[in-house]
A and B are shown apart, each in its own frame.
Chain A
């Protein structure tokens, strides 16, 4: 028999109380893991971005466009290998609440810049030959039951009206982190329509994407692009794709911050729950600790005894919570798959949750340890009922 065994037996003394504490910790750890997964999902786009792509947008604000003429000029910058462009389209299909990403892209070049977006040759041929063609991701196609060749009517919000498109084909993501829930239509189709209806809005693109020779050149090339348009009507801001994605995420920064705070609050609650349980146990056992001290056990033995019990409970809860996170996250991810194209719990999150559980276990044992080691034997023995 060892101290650890006594600690575990002590944990089992109030089965209901310990059980509820473990379940409470497990739920808290699971909630933490889930919230972290949601935050990760937000950042998934930025994580998946390529280091050798730059994005140039209007320096004033992303909602202001850039002239189409910039494309040729950007191409002249040394180190820029390919340039494409896209424009936020912002339409919906039947129900405005069913959001999905859709943008108008240059059908000649766009897919060349995104090797992680896999488009078969038939799809590409269809896209290039038909003006109102659109390429959709697998998840989006599944969501609305779209098949290649289907006629699809989108309802514009930024560009009001009905937009009749034909599904040219379906793209797949090369990586698990590739978004498969977007729709790309042709920029020239949008532009032509605008030319006929609101000509002032024609001839503009939302942002340029440049493939550069080496990620190490990113800073220099960005500066070169931006200086080219300095003092023009539409100055550019060129960033790596990752920075660009992060600036989008920054728009929902408050929510993410709130989620982060909640995740830490959960850890705080976890600490309170376990501290309470451990505090109750320690109070009940003061006389037992005094007996052990009488037998010759030293403070460090009691530290070990109490910390082991606390850690046993916190790690049981932590492990249970981590195990529960997987089914919860996959269920949650399934329900949210149209909104979070990538929803996967990262091992780091679970590691963090585990480390927090460990810290909580240690912290929660502090107060009982102080109490147990500070009370004199005589006072401890007198606390017998």
Chain B
């Protein structure tokens, strides 16, 4: 049940989802028959021991990996129906992904990194500028716009990565251990920021984390263990 009641729509619908990796002919099951749904505006913390399949699940929701069995429906689209090209377009429209190691392009400035996903839209240069400046404003880095990643701290890099994830105004924000590589204070800021994105901008967010503080900020906690969700 959603805390937002009946009017909110379901953003993520997962049915009988299984994912195995194959080493030669050996099947390594990672996710087993998962079922879960996520209403719009949710803020979920996905927890679980290392190697439990959290990244795998996030990748499946993001449409960057394909399930072995079962259905992943995100933002009203059954991802299995999409070709690779359609999936890429779909991701650009609906998914904002935040990585543990920020994964900024080192030769691009903060501004250019945030602009990168906007190049795939039909926005004009000046519209892109508006989006980039807004996004960097939200993460509090308006004064670091023309810095390169190596000129930024880890926390600032992650904030740029968040700006990149929200610049296109995606339906769903997925963050894979966004504070895993940060000191306590920076981690705090990032979590605060994600929380604000959820409360102020009504963004639906799934954040993978080991951090109990992160879990506290979320509305819902999900545990993944031995391929099963609880």
Question: Any chain B CB within 8 A of the CB of A381?
Answer: yes
Question: Any chain B CB within 8 A of the CB of A282?
Answer: no
Cβ B91 vs Cβ A294 within 8 A: yes
Please report the total number of A residues contacting B with Cβ < 8 Å: 23
Residues of B within 8 A of A298 (CB): 85, 88-89
Residue among B85, B89, B107 making CB contact with A10, cutoff 8 Å:
B107
Question: Any chain A CB within 8 A of the CB of B78?
Answer: no
Question: Any chain A CB within 8 A of the CB of B97?
Answer: yes
Q: A378-B59, A378-B65 are in contact. Are A297 and B88 (CB under 8 A)?
A: yes
Provide the bound-state CA to CA distance between A378 and B108, in Å. 23
Question: Any chain B CB within 8 A of the CB of A359?
Answer: no
The residues in B between 118 and 145 inclusive whose CB is less than 8 angstroms from any CB of A are 119-120
Cβ A296 vs Cβ B106 within 8 A: no
Residues of A within 8 A of B105 (CB): 6, 288, 291-292
- Max chain A C-beta neighbours (<10 A), residue from B93, B107, B164: B107
Residues of B within 8 A of A381 (CB): 64, 99, 103
- Max chain B C-beta neighbours (<10 A), residue from A2, A13, A291: A291
Residue among B62, B89, B106, B108 making CB contact with A294, cutoff 8 Å:
B62
Provide the bound-state CA to CA distance between A1 and B108, in Å. 10
1/0 per residue, CB under 8 A from B, across A359-380: the answer is 0000000000000000011100
Provide the bound-state CA to CA distance between A295 and B117, in Å. 6
Residues of B within 8 A of A291 (CB): 99, 103, 105
Interface of B is mostly: helix
Question: Any chain B CB within 8 A of the CB of A9?
Answer: yes
Residues of A within 8 A of B92 (CB): 295-296
Cβ A378 vs Cβ B64 within 8 A: yes
Q: In the complex, what residue of chain B is closest to A11 when comparing beta carbons? A: B107
1/0 per residue, CB under 8 A from A, across B189-204: the answer is 0000000000000000
1/0 per residue, CB under 8 A from B, across A5-28: the answer is 010011011000000000000000
Question: Any chain A CB within 8 A of the CB of B40?
Answer: no
Residues of B within 8 A of A296 (CB): 88-93, 117, 120
Cβ A2 vs Cβ B88 within 8 A: no
Whole-angstrom distance between the Cβ of A159 and the nearest chain B Cβ? 73
1/0 per residue, CB under 8 A from A, across B144-174: the answer is 0000000000000000000010000000000
Cβ B64 vs Cβ A1 within 8 A: no
1/0 per residue, CB under 8 A from A, across B79-109: the answer is 0000001001111110101010101011110
Cβ A384 vs Cβ B59 within 8 A: no
Residues of A within 8 A of B95 (CB): 294
Q: A6-B107, A297-B120 are in contact. Are A1 and B99 (CB under 8 A)?
A: no
Residues of B within 8 A of A295 (CB): 91-92, 97, 116-117, 120, 164
Question: Any chain A CB within 8 A of the CB of B42?
Answer: no
Provide the bound-state CA to CA distance between A3 and B117, in Å. 12
Question: Any chain B CB within 8 A of the CB of A138?
Answer: no
Residues of B within 8 A of A13 (CB): 106-107
Provide the bound-state CA to CA distance between A12 and B106, in Å. 12
Cβ A287 vs Cβ B103 within 8 A: yes
Residue among B101, B103, B107, B119 making CB contact with A12, cutoff 8 Å:
B107
Cβ A6 vs Cβ B120 within 8 A: no
Residues of A within 8 A of B88 (CB): 293, 296-298
Residues of B within 8 A of A6 (CB): 105, 107-108, 112
Whole-angstrom distance between the Cβ of A375 and the nearest chain B Cβ? 12
The 5 closest A-B pairs by CB, nearest first: A296-B92, A9-B107, A377-B64, A295-B117, A291-B103
**A–B complex contacts, Cβ < 8 Å, 12 sampled:** A1-B112, A1-B115, A10-B107, A13-B106, A13-B107, A292-B105, A294-B91, A294-B97, A295-B91, A296-B91, A377-B59, A381-B64
Given A6-B112, A295-B164, A377-B59, list of 20 further CB < 8 A pairs? A1-B108, A2-B119, A291-B99, A291-B103, A293-B64, A294-B64, A295-B91, A295-B92, A295-B97, A295-B116, A295-B120, A296-B92, A296-B120, A297-B88, A298-B89, A377-B64, A378-B59, A378-B65, A381-B99, A384-B101
Q: Please list the residues of chain B having a beta carbon within 8 angstroms of any beta carbon in chain A.
A: 59, 62, 64-65, 85, 88-93, 95, 97, 99, 101, 103, 105-108, 112, 115-117, 119-120, 164
